[in-house]
Amino acid sequence: MIYGVLRYAPTFYNDLEMKKQSLLIPYITAGYPSKKLFIPILKTLSLSDSKANFIEVGVPHSDPLADGPVIQESSKIALENGVTLRWIVETLCTTSLQRGIKPLILFSYLNPILKYGFEKLLKDLPKPLFYGLIIPDLPLEEAEKYLPLFKKHRLNLILLAAPTTKKTKLKKIAKMSGGFIYLVAVTGVTGERKKLSSDLKVKIKEIKSFTSKPVAVGFGIGNAKQAKEVISFGADGVVVGSAIIKLLKESKNNHRLLKLKKFVKTFS
């Protein structure tokens, strides 16, 4: 499987088709396992041989309903480390720290965004470093009213679709989602799975019947073998999260970045 850098939405899918490349989107919880490792982790994931296109940065939250136990624990530790949405924004607004970091996608529940200020956040996120946002608990009806703000501030609102999403709602998601569609591979929360459902292939095909936007699959992708399987189902890329958080947890301090680099390279 080959992954390439595809930064801007207007040429996004054409590049995928022409080069037959697939998206790789690693996920990390900001400030886990420590604040001081936040930027080094981002830069490790951004190395050219990691083949990551975007990096999904999770905002720690006290009630992460969509997350499984691995990411829940990382969120709890990050909060104990004093990580807030404001700290993430302020850290990444430092121009010198932005060098060498791939485009970022902010993953945040709605409450931290509302506390920060919805439009203020869209304004404050440094561009073009940030490509877009994923807000898993933002209802589709509410999302629609925020689309003009995302356009104004040159950011994509990336919407989630689930295996159980009905056709009418799926068509709306396909139309509204910015950049690409994030398809949840399994019902339930995030976390590695031993096996992926073959029904995923049907759902990917259904989404692609409504739009030419890429489809990236997350929730349950834990290794390169599963990623290749998802790509063979017709997906344009994968999101890998819990496996990365688990690796960071289980690695010793001086080996974390090296092990992270080696793990992400297995997806090449």
Q: Is 56 a catalytic residue?
A: yes
Catalytic residue among 17, 67, 124, 137: 67
Cβ contact 69:98 at 8 Å: no
Location of structure tokens 């905002």: 59
Q: Which of 56, 119, 206, 236 is catalytic?
A: 56
Kindly calculate the radius of gyration of the chain based on its CA atoms and give it in whole angstroms: 17
Give the integer Cα–Cα distance in Å for 45 and 265. 9
* 136 vs 61: CA distance, rounded Å: 12
The candidate with the shortest Cα–Cα distance to 179, out of 261, 120, 105, is 105
- Give CA–CA dist 150/227, Å, rounded: 30
Token pair listed for 181? 């569609």
Nearest-angstrom CA–CA distance, 30 and 99: 18
Round to whole Å and give the CA distance between 149 and 139: 16
Active site residues: 56, 67
